[in-house]
Structure 1
Amino acid sequence: MRKADGLFKLIGLCLLAGVLVAGMLFPVVGAAGVMSNQASETVEKTSSDLADIPPPLVTTVTDNTGKPIATLYNQYRLPINENQVNEAMKWALVSVEDKRFYEHHGVDWQGTLRAAVSNSTGADTQGASTLTQQYVKNYLINVVYRTDQVGQKKAQEQSIARKLKEARIAIQLETKLTKQQILAGYLNIVEFSRQIFGIGAAAHAYFDTTPEKLTVPQAALLAGLVNNPINNDPWNHPDKATARRNLVLDRMVDNKKLAKADADRFKAEPLGVVPDSPKKPPANCIGAGPEAGFFCQYVEDYLLKAGGMTKDQLYTGGYTIKSTLDERANHEAKVSAEAQVKKTQQYVANTLSLVKPGKDRHEVVALAANRDYGQNQDEGQTTYALPAGVYNTGGAGSTYKIFTSAAVLDKGLAGIYSPVDLPETYTSRVFTTEKGGCSTTPTGKPRTYWYCVGNAADYSKTAANATLQTALATSPNTTFVELEDRLGSTGPAIDMAKRLGMRETMASNIGGGPVDPKAEREEKRLSQAEFYGPRGNSPGLGAFTLGFSPLSGLELGNVAATILSGGVWCPPTPIAGVTDRNGNPVPVKEAPCEQAVPEGLANTLAVGMSKDDQPGGTSFQAASAVGWDRPMIGKTGTTQGNVSATFVGGTPQLAGAAMTFKFGGGQGGICDAGPGNVRVCLGGGNIFGGKAPARTWFGAMKNIMDASQPRMELPAPDPKYTGGGPR
């Protein structure tokens, strides 16, 4: 560059600086006044953004005692106040970034002119931003525009307009905040790499300490990082980090805040960061661990779907979410699930969901699986929400007979003590199907036959004295298809499924996913309620009562909770309470509880389901094995081909559902050779609801109930729904 050109450029910069100063301090009239007013409005809006948009904080999820189990965040930030900035950190930062911090009023004009001279004469480019200006820029980048790349780019562009706005905001801040507040604000906002923001998080992540306890060399390392945290990362670039730390120590000596002898001694010390990588918690539900991760995931999903939160709010709001997780109950559920099916057992999932009945709330206390929650598939981990989501695509089997029974009671077609038939096979005169199995009776329509079913067991010994209560305990298929015939369609049973709790399940498609109105295949285009229900002249699919549709195990467990709550349905909530970053309660939008069925019907249905654990009932062996002796409701289910099996049950204090199902592939059904020996096998399997699922439920419930709950009786039946005395 020629000297004359450099001189003219320097003169121009000086004149421009004068104009900028005048524009900042003394807005003029006319056109210049309009421009100044517009600039003032922009500055005021930005200043308002700085005041109104709080920095992202870490959200903490706890169990029902308040013990933290997980953290959710986009930026790992532990906020501090001005009293937590110790002398070492204060002078390390000021010495390297803004030596005249305590002398200027937001803008360092001496440094600005020095940088202008240096840059205009072709020397190395120098910055002139004060810590106050850097605070403004970092707040815009890391807070206001953290999800807006265009806004972030504008906040960093090398332009006079941007510098002017930044300077004016800095001057405003200096009139409203003390120097210590500005310093603390800056140290709360600035990035230290790897999602670590602010000195509170950095002190913990880099040195496993707190900001008040930072030593001089530790503070020097962190102060040096803010200039270029990636380039000076002490794990990836220890040599650069060391050089930068030592430069900060030298600047502290120059600034007369550190003796040279001490600086030399500190330079000889190792960096002293924690080994391998920063010490920070996982940023999502992985942090809840292999047992509580499924529950944490349900907390997140629940707040996003039902609670009215966005993911950005959840991960940046700094909330404390007290969940309803009972860690002891969850542990017992996990142990029992894993005792039946190994965590590394390929293609088989085993889950248990537990819910507290109640007329005001249905609190979820446990969500467990044989699989661990995590991302290492080789170690039996998954992040699929197996207990809560609609992942059992094999179906629930005969547990859906609960809904047919409830519909029959509701319509007054039979009571729990009414006699029922237990034929070996039954051919419907309401529901039709294509030819297959025992369906050989034509309806008179082309390629259409009356729906026909058979039983998996011989019921001849109990047929003479069978009641609906007996049928619920022994589970003959023929009886419940005949009851569907009495209903005239699947509509009433499907309605009962939704009312009692299978709401997300019935709203999903036949594959268990969301309904896609544009899908070519009907089973993906329609909800389960539509697919299995009456349409046009069709009464629906008679096999609905045999439960071959995908479902959520948590919703199935909530069905038992609804029955044991006098017919009151409440959403299965994992939330005990939420507070914001300031400790104020945050209302959570939850569906209100509702009287799903008459209380007398629910109480009578509970009595109707009370014999499953008794001799002759399908879960008798599993109950006997643990010495179960409490009043309860129960129902088992097994799907065709033995690809899945379920058990749903409950006591007046705690209800739940266990499911064993194929997950992730495999050919054939599920073979059950006893606890720890459940696997996918070629050909037909031999699993039933009374095996692994019932063993899982009873194994956990026995320990949970005996430890804390007194014996309670089931409610008395309502004569309106009994259909006469026991036979």
Structure 2
Amino acid sequence: MSGERQRRLTPMAYKRSGGGRGAAQQAVNFVGISVLAGVVLAGLALPAVGAMGLGVKNTAQGFDELPGELKRPALSQASHILDADGGEIATVFSRDRTIVPLKDVAPVMRKAIVAIEDYRFYKHGAVDPKGVLRALSKNAESGDVSQGASTLTQQYVKNVFIEEAGDDPDAVAQATQQTIGRKIKELKYAIQLEQELGKKQILENYLNITFFGQQAYGVQAAAKRYFSKSAKDLTLPQAAMLAGLVQSPSRYDPINDEVEAKKRRNTVIQRMYEVGDITEAQAEAAKKKPLGLNVTRSRNGCITAVHGAGFFCDYVREVFLDDPTFGKSKKLRVKRWNEGGLTIRTTLDPQAQKSVQASIRRHVYRSDPVATAVTLVEPGTGKILAMGQSRPYGFASNQTQINYSVDRSAGGGAGYQPGSTFKPFTAAAALEEGMSAGKTYPSPYEMPYPSVSDCAGNNYPGTGTVPNESRQEVGPYGMPDAMKKSVNTYFVSLEADVGLCNVMQMTRKLGIAKRAGGEKLGIGAAYTLGVNEMSPLTMASAYATFANRGTYCEPRAILAVRDAKGKSLRVPRTSCRQAMSTQTADTINTMLKGVVDFGTGAQAGLTDRDSAGKTGTTDFRYAAWFVGYTPNMAAAVWVGDPKHERKMINITIGGRYHGKVFGADTPAPIWRDAVSGALVGKPVETFNTVPLPRPHHSKKPDEDDDNGDNGGNDNGGNDNGGNDNGGNDGDNGHGHHHPRPRPSFTLPPGVIGGNDGGNTTGG
């Protein structure tokens, strides 16, 4: 076939023919039906002659019936999740690929791939007649497919089919099956692409879509994987090795078999010499070079996140997939996430994250029978600054994929009872209703639960009794002292006075509308004692409202998102609302500052700045908390058994023995160390404190620092969404629920919590 005849299949000639079916038919006529059938036969190693008539007939008919356009899916790329400073937290991908333009691929790499895969690439059209005839001859001699006839353009089309199939093995098998139909389809689309794209664009697309082994898709990822460099910096021996991988990435894998890889590399180098790309001297010198691997292992997913930020990384993914801002439907959001190419800048403060992880390592070991989770939030913005836990992200023993810091809907578990850390919400509701912080109650050691009513007017009779932590803890108390000593009977009385409905409305304003597991809030007289399970993120965000002088801001993890083309996507804005007056917030801040300065939270006190907070410990000591804040940072610390099976009695945590664990002696020091490190170099701010009423008839102020948390039990037995299934998820995957063990008594109907026989807990 003459050179002039071959040129009629060039893109311009094809374009002039008018395109569409007529152009395709001209191409078929030019190549000749026998050659077109030969393409099929060469690829399938069918006996020549005998099958020729059938092949020609099916080829012509199938060719005309194919759709006219090849749909090229967006190539899946890696996404990069960054911290607030722009540092990379993790890279996530379904296929590790970074698309680069042809100008950013070393010329020697372009020559190597063309030389070994299709050395006549620039001389023929979509099909190479000489290559077809050569392959037919070789395959007929061997009786097998010893040589293929596919041009580089046809190979690109096949890779498009594979990319479109995604990770579905059946779809991939169908996309690569050796059939006449697939070969015809491949050929027609190759002709289309030669017209539409031209040689340079086809080569660029091919280099970006091709699989090079070791999870590397595209030449940029391959250069990074094997040589830890960019594709534009590849040398001759390196380019030849990568080009050689395309034929069989597993057979020539240099990491697993350097001998085979080097043989294949030298074959490519020799081919480059034969086609005139390099001189003989260059070829001989390159063949003598070692492979020179400098492997960068694939680091995919949140499990590889730096500074222990795997759970935060996972939370970012959950937020992205759940937010309509990133796509109208969940299906579209999943598609966008899987296609990748995203650069997601988050709120994570690397200094704060490092401080959280350092504090966790210091106080709770990963091998301990219980775990801890810590979340830091910025008041006024809702930005999540840090999120960590003692059980690492993973699948091994004492690892988990459950994020203990968040609700189940965001990848967490069913949460944990926060105990007395709920009491400030009751105090805030009372102050908003005009009650004085000097309000005094008798606050005996033990008292019957009062009757309460919800916002719908449903009444819950007071059944059972609630005790304080210590028998010496007897009032009367005013609110500041009751807060410092965490007096159960005071806050149950206050709740009854202000009305359970007002308390629940306050918690709703603070972002508490349901339990961490997604269930309705349990309603009853023990609501103020923190019997509804919460997550650390929920509690930190609620307390940040006090620091922000009454304005609640929803937690936020994503600051900005750019797509693969560098276009900025719309991201959710910070949503804030006034939850209480500044006067109420200032009063709460003054009281909770007293808790840290003189009360149960003394071990959380910071030496160089104002801090405030509240301890919490549940019955049976399944959970202990400290939730606190400075004017510019709020944090929640939980310690407990994620499965809610291990009581924290006679237990060693972080190498330290505890007869009984309190919120004051384990979570509080974790909070202090995490927050103090996170605030290094940050502005020192002070609370706007207000005068508090003097206490009336308080008992010994230094007596029983750790007092009165959840006087209720762990299974609030009411008929309105109580904690009947308050267990937390274990470590064997999302969605596995472990019911809490029930105590040896049954609560009366209509009551959450109640006396468990005196075995209540301290702050």
Partner of 1:357: 379
Q: Residues 323 and 575 of structure 1 are in contact (CA less than 8 Å); yes or no, is this contact kept in structure 2?
A: yes
| CA separation of 1:644 and 1:258: change in aligned 2, threshold 3 A | same
Partner of 1:618: 600
Aligned residue among 268, 276, 290 for 1:256: 276
Give matches, 1:489-500, under 5 Å: 489=500, 491-500=501-510
Bigger mean CA deviation after superposition, 152-161 or 61-70: 152-161
Amino acid across the alignment from 1:334: Q
Q: Residues 448 and 465 of structure 2 are in contact (CA less than 8 Å); yes or no, is this contact kept in structure 1?
A: yes
Bigger mean CA deviation after superposition, 594-603 or 129-138: 594-603
Partner of 2:365: 342
Partner of 1:523: none
Q: Residues 342 and 370 of structure 1 are in contact (CA less than 8 Å); yes or no, is this contact kept in structure 2?
A: yes
Shift of 1:481: 1.9
Bigger mean CA deviation after superposition, 564-573 or 74-83: 564-573
Aligned residue among 133, 158, 172 for 1:137: 158
Q: Residues 415 and 515 of structure 2 are in contact (CA less than 8 Å); yes or no, is this contact kept in structure 1?
A: no
Partner of 2:666: 692
Shift of 1:122: 6.4
| CA separation of 1:707 and 1:118: change in aligned 2, threshold 3 A | closer
Aligned residue among 539, 552, 559 for 2:535: 552
Aligned residue among 79, 90, 93 for 2:99: 79
Partner of 2:746: none
| CA separation of 1:301 and 1:459: change in aligned 2, threshold 3 A | farther
Partner of 1:28: none
Give matches, 1:52-451, under 5 Å: 53-119=73-139, 123-125=143-145, 126-142=147-163, 144-260=164-280, 262-274=282-294, 278-306=295-323, 310-344=333-367, 346-358=368-380, 361-377=381-397, 381-389=399-407, 390-391=412-413, 393-412=415-434, 414-430=435-451, 450-451=463-464
Shift of 1:590: 6.0
Partner of 1:501: 511
Q: Residues 59 and 319 of structure 1 are in contact (CA less than 8 Å); yes or no, is this contact kept in structure 2?
A: yes
Aligned residue among 461, 480, 484 for 1:473: 484
Q: Residues 211 and 217 of structure 2 are in contact (CA less than 8 Å); yes or no, is this contact kept in structure 1?
A: yes
Partner SS state of residue 336, structure 2: helix
For residues 572-630 of structure 1, the C-alpha deviation after alignment (integer angstroms, 9 at most, x for no partner) is 11112111112221123468333344555444433443321122x1112442xx53551
Seq. identity, %: 33
Shift of 1:282: 1.4
For residues 101-153 of structure 1, the C-alpha deviation after alignment (integer angstroms, 9 at most, x for no partner) is 010122212222333455567633232111111111112212x2214445433
For structure 2, list consecutive stretches of 5 or more residues without a partner in the other structure.
1-45, 327-332, 454-459, 697-763
Partner of 2:588: 605
| CA separation of 1:337 and 1:150: change in aligned 2, threshold 3 A | closer
For residues 645-697 of structure 1, the C-alpha deviation after alignment (integer angstroms, 9 at most, x for no partner) is 11111122111111121235764324578x94446x7xxx4221121111122
Distance in 1, Cα, partners of 2:55 & 2:622? 81
Distance in 2, Cα, partners of 1:247 & 1:316? 35
Distance in 1, Cα, partners of 2:473 & 2:277? 95
For residues 291-329 of structure 1, the C-alpha deviation after alignment (integer angstroms, 9 at most, x for no partner) is 322322222222223465544432432111111111112
Distance in 1, Cα, partners of 2:499 & 2:232? 74
Partner SS state of residue 550, structure 1: coil
Partner of 2:494: 483
For residues 66-108 of structure 1, the C-alpha deviation after alignment (integer angstroms, 9 at most, x for no partner) is 1112111111112221112323222221122112101012221
Shift of 1:192: 1.3
Amino acid across the alignment from 1:333: V
For residues 243-286 of structure 1, the C-alpha deviation after alignment (integer angstroms, 9 at most, x for no partner) is 32232233223323344554445444433323xxx513411112
Aligned residue among 650, 660, 663 for 2:629: 650
Q: Residues 347 and 662 of structure 1 are in contact (CA less than 8 Å); yes or no, is this contact kept in structure 2?
A: yes
Shift of 1:471: 1.5
Shift of 1:716: 5.5
2:466 matched to 1:453? Answer: yes
2:660 matched to 1:635? Answer: no
Shift of 1:370: 3.6
Distance in 2, Cα, partners of 1:10 & 1:450? 90
Structure 1 length normalisation: TM-score? 0.79
Partner of 1:520: none
Shift of 1:476: 0.7
Partner SS state of residue 60, structure 1: strand
| CA separation of 1:581 and 1:382: change in aligned 2, threshold 3 A | same
Distance in 2, Cα, partners of 1:228 & 1:460? 77
Distance in 1, Cα, partners of 2:369 & 2:414? 12
| CA separation of 1:74 and 1:649: change in aligned 2, threshold 3 A | same
For residues 31-75 of structure 1, the C-alpha deviation after alignment (integer angstroms, 9 at most, x for no partner) is x7xx87752xx131x2xx21xx32111111111111112111111
Bigger mean CA deviation after superposition, 311-320 or 113-122: 113-122
Distance in 2, Cα, partners of 1:578 & 1:691? 41
Partner SS state of residue 655, structure 1: strand
Distance in 1, Cα, partners of 2:85 & 2:450? 56
Amino acid across the alignment from 1:627: T
Aligned residue among 43, 47, 53 for 2:68: 43
Distance in 2, Cα, partners of 1:281 & 1:416? 59
Partner SS state of residue 426, structure 2: helix
For structure 1, list consecutive stretches of 5 or more residues without a partner in the other structure.
24-31, 433-444, 515-526, 534-539
2:562 matched to 1:579? Answer: yes
Amino acid across the alignment from 2:511: G
Q: Residues 431 and 450 of structure 1 are in contact (CA less than 8 Å); yes or no, is this contact kept in structure 2?
A: no
Q: Residues 392 and 663 of structure 1 are in contact (CA less than 8 Å); yes or no, is this contact kept in structure 2?
A: no
| CA separation of 1:374 and 1:580: change in aligned 2, threshold 3 A | same
Q: CA RMSD in A?
A: 3.2
Distance in 1, Cα, partners of 2:351 & 2:472? 41
Partner of 2:26: none
Partner of 1:9: 50
Structure 2 length normalisation: TM-score? 0.76
Partner SS state of residue 658, structure 1: strand
Distance in 2, Cα, partners of 1:467 & 1:307? 47
Q: Residues 322 and 576 of structure 1 are in contact (CA less than 8 Å); yes or no, is this contact kept in structure 2?
A: yes
| CA separation of 1:68 and 1:635: change in aligned 2, threshold 3 A | same
| CA separation of 1:294 and 1:627: change in aligned 2, threshold 3 A | same
Q: Residues 307 and 354 of structure 2 are in contact (CA less than 8 Å); yes or no, is this contact kept in structure 1?
A: no
Q: Residues 450 and 493 of structure 2 are in contact (CA less than 8 Å); yes or no, is this contact kept in structure 1?
A: no
Distance in 2, Cα, partners of 1:120 & 1:706? 76
Distance in 2, Cα, partners of 1:136 & 1:150? 18
Partner SS state of residue 559, structure 2: strand
